[in-house]
Amino acid sequence: MRPTRLDDARIKDARRRIDPVFLDTPLYRCEPLDQLGCTVSIKLETANPVRSFKGRGTELVTSLLAESGARAAVCASAGNLGQGLAWSGRRRGLDITVVASSSVTPAKLDRIRALGATLELVDGDHEAARERAAALSRREGIRLVEDSLDIETCEGAATIGLELADAAPSADVVLVALGGGALATGVGHVIRSRMPGTEMICVQPAGAPAMTRSWHARRVVTTDSATTIADGVAGRFPIPAVLEDLLLVADDAVLVQEESIVAAMRLLLEHAGLVVEPSAALGIAAVLEDPARFAGRDVVTIVCGSNVDPDAYRRWTARS
């Protein structure tokens, strides 16, 4: 197999750099979800100070930055990376600026501010925020943390893979939310090298399909818009290097409908007692849409975030 950009030794080292509060997260079978026709195990990435897996990557990147004497960093964020970077930067004395679309979930923006980061809002979507963050980085001469492109964001996420390889080495399937690709390439890299019998399936909303279309086309495909409640994975411009890696590690990439995402959120609330944000429900949505594919198999789904707007969440999970 051609190697990805990720490096096993660096991933192992990442575990040493990441605050333990983000590591060794719960992995457990949720039997009430047997009703889906398969065995579902939850890898829970929400029980930490920023309520998403992003802290793994931001811990790694800020640890290296602080070591190099840097004083500041900037990122574009759909909400969760910004919280992670703000949290990790604060504890290492780094000035953090987060650029976000003004359409980002208000609860996420509030948390980024509360964590002491400078928050700059831009009109337009996440891609506009990425451009603005890059411009700020050039102007200020500070590090731009680019989700999925920067190897630390992938290798931080890859530590989830190490934990899966230790605790669930014989899982049949791992379902991973697909957005920019940090989580998918990170976890996928480890699955490919350490879980040879495991199928790694990426799941993306049909309303924001750029990376999935790119994976199937084996070249970058962009989209004109991204319309989904799964704000954490709503990019339009896949990064070529990340796609290259994803082509090496993913067994499949599938799209799911908004209704399935909502149904999956409701299922996780009612039968697993978990509040999850839409991106974190993508795995279960994929099972709901294609139960035959997963029938009787041991499925692990990574519940990657729980940062929801309370009102929107109530609406999504209200009894229909």
Using DSSP, state whether 240 is helix, strand or coil: helix
Choice between 51 and 126, CB closer to a copy of itself:
51
Distance CA 35, CA 308 (A): 26
Among residues 28, 292, 10, 302, the alpha carbon closest in space to that of 178 is found at 302
Report the nearest approach of a copy of itself to the CB of residue 43 (Å): 10
Q: What are phi and psi of 102, to 5 degrees?
A: -65, -10
Task: Give the CB-side neighbour count of residue 202, counting CA atoms within 13 A.
Answer: 34
Tell me the sheet residues that pair with 199: 173
Of 30 and 195, the one with the shorter C-beta distance to a copy of itself is: 30
Give the nearest distance from C-beta 250 to a copy of itself in angstroms.
Answer: 27
| CA-based end-to-end distance of the chain | 48
Q: Which is nearer to a copy of itself, 137 or 306 (CB)?
A: 306
| Amino acid at site 144 | L
C-beta of 273: minimal distance to a copy of itself in Å? 4
Asked whether the beta carbons of 318 and 61 are under 8 A apart, the reply is no
Shortest distance in whole angstroms from residue 220 CB to a copy of itself: 34
Complex with a copy of itself: residue 67 or 270, whichever CB lies closer: 270
Q: What is the closest distance, in whole angstroms, from the C-beta atom of residue 111 to a copy of itself in the complex?
A: 7
Would you tell me which residues interact with a copy of itself (CB under 8 A)? 21, 24-32, 42, 44, 46-49, 51, 111, 114-115, 269-270, 273-275, 306-308, 310, 314, 318-319
Nearer of residues 52 and 77 to a copy of itself, judged by Cβ: 52
